[in-house]
Structure 1
Amino acid sequence: MTSEAAPPPSKPLTGGALTRSRILDAAARLMNTVGLTRTTTKEIAREAGCSEASLYKHFRDKEEIFVTVLREREPRFTDALAALPGRAGEGEVAEQLEEVARVAVLFYRRTFPMAASLFASPDLLAAHRGKLDLSASGPQVPVHSLAAYLTAEQDLGRLSPAFDPDAAAMLLIGACFHRAFLTLFFAPDPPAGAPLPEDETDFARETVRALLEGIGSSAHARSGRSG
């Protein structure tokens, strides 16, 4: 996911486009610091260095600003995972999954404050959901893309046919989501042992190893033999 070519440099923004971009950047900063309920259009305008009148030339209300921030300013984790199934057969499966884990934790850590603001307002959540093509960009898409990659690796014989791609994808993405939650919950000084392991690289490696090797329940094995 880190090997994709960088997009060509764009021309510097000017005029209304520059003002719009500053408004979105300001709103994103406020969402990540003071949250939705304490953010007003007046505060956004002040942070962006423009007047409220200028703000309303680009957006109808605060709700539209936040919906646009979520659509245009969040990290493109979904886009990155969409390319993963096409790389089946390349490198080691464990290495591919470890990269997914590292990117996923970073994505969820950066977007968790935005998501908290989103869920704090049912109207905002409904507006955001209504603007999404849920089949292409909903929150379930990363799991589906990862499951498609695992299925492709199965077809190549690089994973056991008994492996459940959907369940495995859900487990890995869910672990990354929880890791991000713990990191934010305990910031800036987490107590010893939370989260474990402390190093992000170790987390990715050990989580993927547990996923691929399985828990190996002896109780389940005994039950199977006795049946």
Structure 2
Amino acid sequence: MSTRDRILDAAATVLRERGIARATTKEIARAAGCSEALLYKYFADKQELFLGVLTERSPQLDPPHDLVGRRTVVENVTTLVRQLLAFYVRSFPMAASILGAPELLAAHRAGLHRHGAGPEGPARHLQAYLDAEAAAGRVSADVDTEAAARTLAGAALIEAFLAVYTGLTEVPDAEARARAIVGSVRL
């Protein structure tokens, strides 16, 4: 296993246990069995490390271009929402801690902005898929794809929050929840 992979694995564990607000790069480096200086050879800052965990150690969404024209739009969106439920359940414990510390939140927001990332990413991903399907004529032109994507992402986030809040590591019957969420939105 490469040093970078060891650092990402350690970061995923520490961030999930302590949250991004309380986790330190020193603690992550110690868990990875390396120095903090070596950690910084691979990751510029804690936000970049957090993004690495989100993109490489968390459940991912299928790329929009892989779904366009395959199966039905409802089936594809249901798949994306189910994937989003898994992603949010894994990432929520890492990110939620930052909301209680305004100065850390401001620094985190600025750091994510520098890396071109932020919490709007999942909704943008869903919108990109819906926009591509609209361009292909498979989503009605009168559907507000931005509103639909935000509604779907928001519903997935609240379901994940409820699961995490009750101590679960996944959304119960995620497939049925995803179908119900998608069924509530006009596509």
Distance change >3 Å, CA 48–CA 209, structure 1 → 2: same
**Aligned position for 2:186:** 212
One-letter amino acid of the counterpart of residue 173, structure 2: D
Distance change >3 Å, CA 44–CA 210, structure 1 → 2: closer
Q: What is the deviation of 1:88?
A: 2.6
**Aligned position for 1:102:** 82
Superposition map of 1:73-222 within 5 A: 73-75=53-55, 80=61, 83-85=63-65, 87-119=67-99, 120=101, 121-122=104-105, 124-133=107-116, 137-188=117-168, 198-212=172-186
Larger Rg: 1
**Aligned position for 1:34:** 18
Q: What is the deviation of 1:208?
A: 1.2
Equivalences, count? 180
Q: What is the deviation of 1:132?
A: 1.2
Structure 2 residue 40 is matched with structure 1 residue 59:
yes
Distance change >3 Å, CA 200–CA 59, structure 1 → 2: same
Checking the alignment, whether the CA contact within 8 Å between 2:127 and 2:149 is kept in structure 1 is yes
| Percent identical | 34
User: What SS is found at the alignment partner of 1:74?
Assistant: helix
Q: What is the deviation of 1:73?
A: 1.5
1:35-80 deviations in whole A, cap 9, x for unaligned? 3455455543442234xxx2234439xx92x223212111368984
Checking the alignment, whether the CA contact within 8 Å between 1:24 and 1:68 is kept in structure 2 is no
Higher RCO, 1 vs 2 (CA within 8 Å, ≥6 residues apart)? 2
Structure 1 residues not aligned, in runs of 5+: 1-11, 190-194, 214-227
User: What SS is found at the alignment partner of 2:6?
Assistant: helix
Structure with more helix by fraction: 2
**Aligned position for 2:6:** 22
Distance change >3 Å, CA 36–CA 95, structure 1 → 2: closer
TM-score, structure 2 normalization: 0.76
One-letter amino acid of the counterpart of residue 36, structure 2: L
User: What SS is found at the alignment partner of 1:162?
Assistant: coil
Distance change >3 Å, CA 184–CA 159, structure 1 → 2: same
Structure 2 residues not aligned, in runs of 5+: none
Q: Distance in 1 between matches of 2:131 and 2:72?
A: 15
Q: Distance in 2 between matches of 1:128 and 1:39?
A: 16
One-letter amino acid of the counterpart of residue 25, structure 1: D
User: What SS is found at the alignment partner of 1:212?
Assistant: coil
User: What SS is found at the alignment partner of 1:98?
Assistant: helix
RMSD: 3.2
One-letter amino acid of the counterpart of residue 19, structure 2: G
1:69-102 deviations in whole A, cap 9, x for unaligned? 2121113689845x31564322111110110011
